Amino acid sequence: MRKTTTFALLISFFILLLVTIFVTGKSYKKTQLPKENSNKQKEEKNITTTQRILSSSITTECKVKVKTAEKVFEIPTKISELQSKNCNNILHKISPSQKYLVFTDISGKTDKEFKIYSGKLDKVLNLYTLGPTDILSLEFLPKDYLAVLTGYINIFGSKQEPKLAIIDINGIFKQKPLSTKENRIVDFDKYKKVINITTTKDTKIIKLNIKNGNILIYGKKKDFNKVSVVKTIPFKTVLSGDD
């Protein structure tokens, strides 16, 4: 009789233990849900407050139209002030992080200029002035590095002076405080690396493209319309190892 009572008590104990574990687990899940929702709301709030740049376009008046998480607005350019203007000359790219928008403009009559809009600062700054040479192409790389291909557009061979500039945009804006003078980035050259592109005398550099971890430089021969890759530059040779 005593063995039967002991066995019944053990069974009751295990049943009570299982019920306790089940109830405790359910209660734990309930207490975790508000925390997950709270983190999600916090993340969504951060997306808005940093003014993530969603899209950009060029208007018929040669202004840069920008859409962020908070607003839509237009940035005037010097090109928009000209009587005879070609809006197709304005190149614009949004960085992978969506923090920055880079676009091209002019300074004076012939010099080309790069400008940058920071969503976080809600401000347009002059990045740098290039001079009379042409901006052939620009693309963003990982980590918000900007690749800019320049050269005289209608000249073949070395006289075209093709160059590839790699600019650490994220590095510039990590400065605390951001160093500017007359709305221009100070010490810009510290964040720029320039690579000379060598070509044959009958080749003209056309554009760059990004593919499979490489920067592809395209050109074409003087007597042929076919465009082909003339130089391949791996990301790892131009990007810093720092995040």
* Band of pLDDT at residue 228, cut at 50, 70 and 90: very high
Average model confidence (pLDDT) across the chain: 83
Asked if residue 174 lies in contact with residue 191, where contact means CB atoms within 8 angstroms, the answer is no
| Domain extent listing, the chain | 1-49, 53-237
Can you give the pLDDT at residue 183? 87
For the beta sheet containing 111-118, the strands, ordered from the edge strand earlier in sequence to the opposite edge, are 92-94, 100-107, 111-118, 123-131, 184-185, 180-181
- Exposure letters 85-123 (e unless 16+ CB within 10 A, then b): beeebbbbbbbebbbbbbbbbbbeeeebbbbbbbbeeee
Query: What is the C-alpha separation between 131 and 158, in angstroms, rounded?
Result: 18
Amino acid type, 53: I
Can you give the pLDDT at residue 205? 94
* Domain 53-237 belongs in CATH node 1.20.140: no
* Band of pLDDT at residue 177, cut at 50, 70 and 90: confident
Whether the pLDDT of residue 9 is over 80: the answer is no
Query: What is the C-alpha separation between 117 and 98, in angstroms, rounded?
Result: 11
pTM for the model: 0.76
Element housing 36 (H / E): helix 2-49
* Band of pLDDT at residue 225, cut at 50, 70 and 90: confident
